[in-house]
Amino acid sequence: MKRFQCGCGTQVFFENHRCVNCESRLGFDPETMGMLALTPAGEGLYVDQAGNQFKFCDNGVSFDACNWLLPADDTDHRLCFACQFNRIIPNQSLPENDHRWRRLEEGKKRLFFTLMRLELPLTNGWEDPDNGLLMDFIDDGRGQPSYGDSFVSTGHLNGVITINPLEADDVARTAARLELNQRYRTVLGHMRHESGHYYWNRLDPDEDTRADFARQFGDESRDYAKALKEYYRDGPPPQWRSQFISAYASAHPTEDWAESWGHYLHIYDAMETAAAQQLIEEWPSEMPVTKRIHIWRGLSITLNELNRSVGRGDAYPFVINDVVAEKLEFVDRIIARLRVRAEQETPS
């Protein structure tokens, strides 16, 4: 994540709506990838210091769930670029859903920021049903008792990422993390993981790429439902740490891929933040993935030690051994291919 400043010089942050120093209204402009200090211009419009006019996403105006901007002259859209990817949002008339939706949007916006920084193809499914992405935030009976015995699990299918809003509830998410013996479970982590499934399908890999995948992760045609049933019944293999970034990655080759993809995004964003805060000298975009992994191994230890020093658990409770590093390098090659595809799809 970049470092942002208000026009008054105060550091501001990606989720901020106002500057704590000068009280300026703040909004994120996806065109410039910057946070802008804004002055009201009447009729729901705002102007930045350069004189450009903007309007806020309707999800911000109506629900305080978004701080992204649109150009004032965009008459085709009321929702910002990121919110146009929503297909189903939590029912705002139900208890806790206003808070949960804001947490979901914060995670989604951070996911999109990294995808955009990596210059990956990013098209919503309304505009491109065959290749686009959509997001469903769907409640079930665990989060909303009025929904009875319904059950909605987080996952990806045919370009749609589904997230249960209960994942945005700290107590419920912690209970699930403990029940499933997971050391790490976050809204952003879920979204990054599921985006890995989406982009593998979006790539539509050729025979050579699938063979390379099989060498790294295993046979993706292995019975998925059976593999997950066995994983939840028996747990991961005893020596899983020597081959996988997480226990869940051992469940099936496609989950190993998605976990590796998710961690690639974790590492990229964290290292970008470290560069912005001058903790490391180079930006991750300026170094090969092998160097990124080398630096991250040391940086993550420092991060964990800082967390322990203030009485909290490890921020990154994972080990990147040489086997996992090779998987991250594979992810990097796939991202390079997807970036080429994005360039080819961009109108000249």
In 10 A of CB 135, how many CB atoms? 23
Q: What does the pLDDT read at residue 118?
A: 96
Query: What distance in Å separates the CA atoms of residue 280 and residue 290, rounded to the nearest whole number?
Result: 16
Decide: helix, strand or coil at residue 163.
Answer: strand
Do residues 146 and 94 lie in contact, with contact meaning Cβ atoms separated by under 8 Å? Answer: yes
**Residues 193-213, mean pLDDT to the nearest whole number:** 93
Burial 10-33 (b: 16+ CB within 10 A, else e): eebebebeebeeeebbbbbbbeee
pTM for this entry: 0.94
Where do we find the tokens 């947490």? Answer: 103
Q: What does the pLDDT read at residue 347?
A: 64
| DSSP state, residue 204 | -
Q: What does the pLDDT read at residue 340?
A: 87
Each residue's pLDDT tens digit, 275-315: 999 999 999 999 999 999 999 999 999 999 999 999 998 99
Domain ranges of the chain: 4-81, 82-203, 205-348
**Residues 154-175, mean pLDDT to the nearest whole number:** 89
Q: Binning pLDDT at 50, 70 and 90, where does residue 270 land? A: very high
Angle in degrees, 0-180, between the axes of helices 322-345 and 187-203, rounded to the nearest 10: 60
Which residues sit opposite 136 in a β-bridge? 88, 162
Q: What does the pLDDT read at residue 50?
A: 93
Q: What does the pLDDT read at residue 348?
A: 55
pLDDT averaged over every residue in the chain: 93
Q: What does the pLDDT read at residue 342?
A: 82
Using the predicted structure, report yes or no on whether residue 346 has a pLDDT greater than 80. no
Q: What does the pLDDT read at residue 90?
A: 94
**Residues 139-154, mean pLDDT to the nearest whole number:** 87
Percentage, residues of the chain above pLDDT 90:
85
**Residues 334-340, mean pLDDT to the nearest whole number:** 93
Q: What does the pLDDT read at residue 183?
A: 72
Q: What does the pLDDT read at residue 176?
A: 76
Each residue's pLDDT tens digit, 229-247: 999 999 999 999 999 999 9
Each residue's pLDDT tens digit, 14-59: 999 999 999 999 999 999 999 999 999 999 999 999 999 999 999 9
**Residues 254-274, mean pLDDT to the nearest whole number:** 97
Q: What does the pLDDT read at residue 82?
A: 97
- Choose among 267, 259, 4, 16: nearest CA to 118: 267
Q: Binning pLDDT at 50, 70 and 90, where does residue 205 land? A: confident
Q: What does the pLDDT read at residue 126?
A: 95
Q: What does the pLDDT read at residue 182?
A: 72
Torsion angle, CA of 71/75/80/85, rounded to 10 degrees?
-150
**Residues 102-125, mean pLDDT to the nearest whole number:** 96
